[in-house]
Structure 1
Amino acid sequence: MTQNNYPKLHNATWPGIVGKGPDSEPIISFDTMLESTAAAEVDGVKFDGVDIGLFDPHIDLDMSDDGIKKLAEKVAGLNLNIGSLVAPIWGGPAMGSKEDRALFVEMVRKSCLFGQKLRDLGVRPNGIVRIDSASSVEKWAVDPVGNTKLIAQTFREACDVAADFGEKLAAEGEICWGGMHSWRAMIDTLEQVDRPNIGFQADMSHTFLYLLGYNSPQDRILPKDFDWNDRATLTEALKTLTKALRPWTIDFHVAQNDGTVFGSGSHDKTGRHCLASDPNGKLDIATDAGHWLRDEQGELTKAFRHLCWDGCMFPNEVMTEPKTWNDILSAMVKVREKHGWYEAE
């Protein structure tokens, strides 16, 4: 039997930054994240690439063309590609002032230009540019209707800029972002943006919290007194969630969640990323990924050509342990075995 080679398997580099810093733990360097990714191996299978955050201290968004070329050579030299990029849009909330929103769009423009250069260098065959509203749920809730309109307006302008570079933007499904903090709010925002190059980034951990109604109790799908041993009810809830969001999904993160929220450093509380082997994990990773990767008839959507593992806010001692990355890669391989496909290359 031919082994599936799609979707490609990527690791994220930004967990070396997110949740780190002066009030947490030291940042893990970009090179360390790259080398840890390249070193992982399970039964002869290795990671195919990395998704990267375009922010300091890992990446200088304004680096020269020569710098971008050196970055591409460094990644390619480890037999990796680059996939999705995270635009550093947090300096200008999408529902902020005119100046804030202009800065947001400019950061998207710079990120798309950076991405185009990586494509031209042959190291980025697929992937999107990730955004969020850069706005707190509390501030959004002061005027839900007006603020969602502002976010949608900013996203439209960002989409129009991204289209000039042939890029798609994926809005991150995470409970800490206003206007994106519940599945219904997310769909409302995307529908108001109304652009062909906007989509949804599903993360099996972050998006899982949509089921529990954190920050939006009225949108809860699972019952309040839910028994985690009731696998049938959990499966139906996942089907409800993915039926609503799958048509929008253009980028996907494999992850685990234990049903709780967590934050560290300056990062707001959001869906807790758990290790692939965490005994408290509520997801059957390989099976539950299928709710996102297959349609309601069980057919593969092939909506994206790579998967990424996003595991933020783990202790540094965990992230510098080779077994961590081998376990993660093993979980991703199982997802691809179950929901992937083969293409001649």
Structure 2
Amino acid sequence: MSTNNYPKLHNATWPGVVGKGPDSEPLIPIDTMLELTAAAEVDGIKFDGVDVGLFDPSIDINDPKEGAKKLADKVAAHGLVIGSLVAPIWGGPVLGSKEDRAVFIDMVRKACQYGQYLKEIGIRPYGVIRIDSASSPETWAADPAGNTKIIADTFREACDVAAEYGEKLAAEGEICWGGMHSWRAMLDTLEAVDRPNMGFQADMSHTFLYLLGYNSPQDRILPADFEWSDRATLEEGLKTLTNALRPWTIDFHVAQNDGTVHGTGSHDKTGRHCLATDPNGKLDIAHDAGYWMRDEKGEVTKAFKHICWDGCMFPNEVMYKQQTWNDILAALIKVRNQHGWSE
């Protein structure tokens, strides 16, 4: 049995919110997500912590100090810690107006303040602030060069704000965000930002669709006639993808994908998050995580202190089953056993 105790194993709280709401299923409160996370156990191993979206109805981003204390108390009561935070920047699309970009920067600042208070309390020992462009690929495509410049300029301003709080920002690799909708667009954006506290958040489901060129056919990595039975070609594609983006990766979501896009509620279609045990899953989760967690020589990068399972837009019936989270924890343990380390 592996003795690896790093990276730490986290669950996400935002799957109780993303894709839920008036035009979908009811929200699942963060308290319930914490209970399900804390109750999961596999061979005596439990989750170490949670990553938190700062947009749950019970989280007030406009009251960082008191809000952080309340959240810390809730999380600590379950014996968990907090890692990465998601800044609620969607009210200020980067490719909107000047005023929209001001809202974006303000939300980044509030998220960083929130994160700083959590660190001071002692509940957040590691993690980053996650952002995206909050803009559609269609908007970006109207002027790729000009819009990439706007995104980079705004992200640089956000990096300056984050630096005031000792935070790093991670841009999420998800096909529904303009300027990060393909692996080449994402790479162009990161290179244009060129800040030491700007990195990439890889998600094994969302980022997987970079291989297929959704929203950017010209950037497709796998051949157009690719068959899923061709595992060797899939692995070569994963190597191409991860060799390009791994050097930028500072936050990592373990997930499964069946090669399709999916959206519920008001959430745009993006990489479908599948259950860890989904028979239609195209990824060998534990093996393929290694393409992100090990360098080209096969050495563990130790680029992040924790890994997080992201399983958005699962039906509530599935999310309320404790077995769902036990299976997810088991998948994370396998990843750590194969690609982790001991401290």
The interval holding the TM-score normalised by the smaller chain is: over 0.9
Look up the match of 1:303: 303
Look up the match of 1:123: 123
Look up the match of 2:28: 28
Q: Where in structure 2 are there 5+ consecutive unaligned residues? A: none
Instruction: Give the SS at the match of 1:290.
Output: helix
Look up the match of 2:14: 14
Look up the match of 2:195: 195
Look up the match of 2:216: 216
Distance 1:274 1:26 in 2: 20
Look up the match of 1:320: 320
Look up the match of 1:57: 57
User: How many residue pairs end up in the alignment?
Assistant: 343
Look up the match of 2:140: 140
Look up the match of 1:276: 276
Report the CA distance between 1:67 and its aligned residue. 3.7
- Note if 1:166 corresponds to 2:166: yes
Instruction: Give the SS at the match of 2:273.
Output: coil
Report the CA distance between 1:341 and its aligned residue. 0.6
* Runs of 4+ residues over 6 Å off in structure 1: none
Contact 1:95 1:154 in 2 (8 A): no
Look up the match of 2:87: 87
- Please list the CA deviations of residues 211-257 of structure 1 after superposition, one character each: whole Å capped at 9, or x if unmatched: 00000000000011111011100000000000000000000000000
Report the CA distance between 1:64 and its aligned residue. 5.7
Contact 2:50 2:83 in 1 (8 A): yes
Contact 2:72 2:121 in 1 (8 A): yes
Look up the match of 1:98: 98
Amino acid at match of 2:237: A
Report the CA distance between 1:268 and its aligned residue. 0.3
Distance 2:30 2:2 in 1: 34
Contact 2:129 2:168 in 1 (8 A): yes
Contact 2:65 2:114 in 1 (8 A): no
Structure 2 matches for 1:181-260, cutoff 5 A?
Answer: 181-260=181-260
- Note if 1:76 corresponds to 2:76: yes
Report the CA distance between 1:2 and its aligned residue. 5.9
Contact 2:31 2:74 in 1 (8 A): no
- Please list the CA deviations of residues 154-210 of structure 1 after superposition, one character each: whole Å capped at 9, or x if unmatched: 100000000000000000000000000000000000111111100000000000000
Report the CA distance between 1:65 and its aligned residue. 2.7
Distance 1:61 1:256 in 2: 30
Distance 2:191 2:22 in 1: 39
- Note if 1:111 corresponds to 2:103: no
Amino acid at match of 1:118: L
Distance 2:238 2:65 in 1: 44
Question: What value does the CA root-mean-square deviation take over the aligned residues?
Answer: 0.9
Look up the match of 1:46: 46
Report the CA distance between 1:56 and its aligned residue. 3.6
- Please list the CA deviations of residues 291-320 of structure 1 after superposition, one character each: whole Å capped at 9, or x if unmatched: 000001000000000000000000000000
Distance 2:120 2:287 in 1: 36
Report the CA distance between 1:76 and its aligned residue. 1.1
Contact 1:40 1:326 in 2 (8 A): yes
Instruction: Give the SS at the match of 1:179.
Output: coil
Report the CA distance between 1:63 and its aligned residue. 2.7
Instruction: Give the SS at the match of 1:185.
Output: helix
Distance 1:58 1:336 in 2: 32
Instruction: Give the SS at the match of 1:109.
Output: helix
Amino acid at match of 1:107: M
Instruction: Give the SS at the match of 2:114.
Output: helix
Distance 1:145 1:123 in 2: 41
Contact 1:253 1:309 in 2 (8 A): yes
Distance 1:200 1:68 in 2: 25
Q: TM-score, with normalisation over the residues of structure 1?
A: 0.98
Distance 2:241 2:93 in 1: 27
Which has the larger displacement, 70-79 or 159-168?
Answer: 70-79
Distance 1:314 1:123 in 2: 28
Contact 1:95 1:148 in 2 (8 A): no
Instruction: Give the SS at the match of 1:83.
Output: strand
Look up the match of 2:156: 156
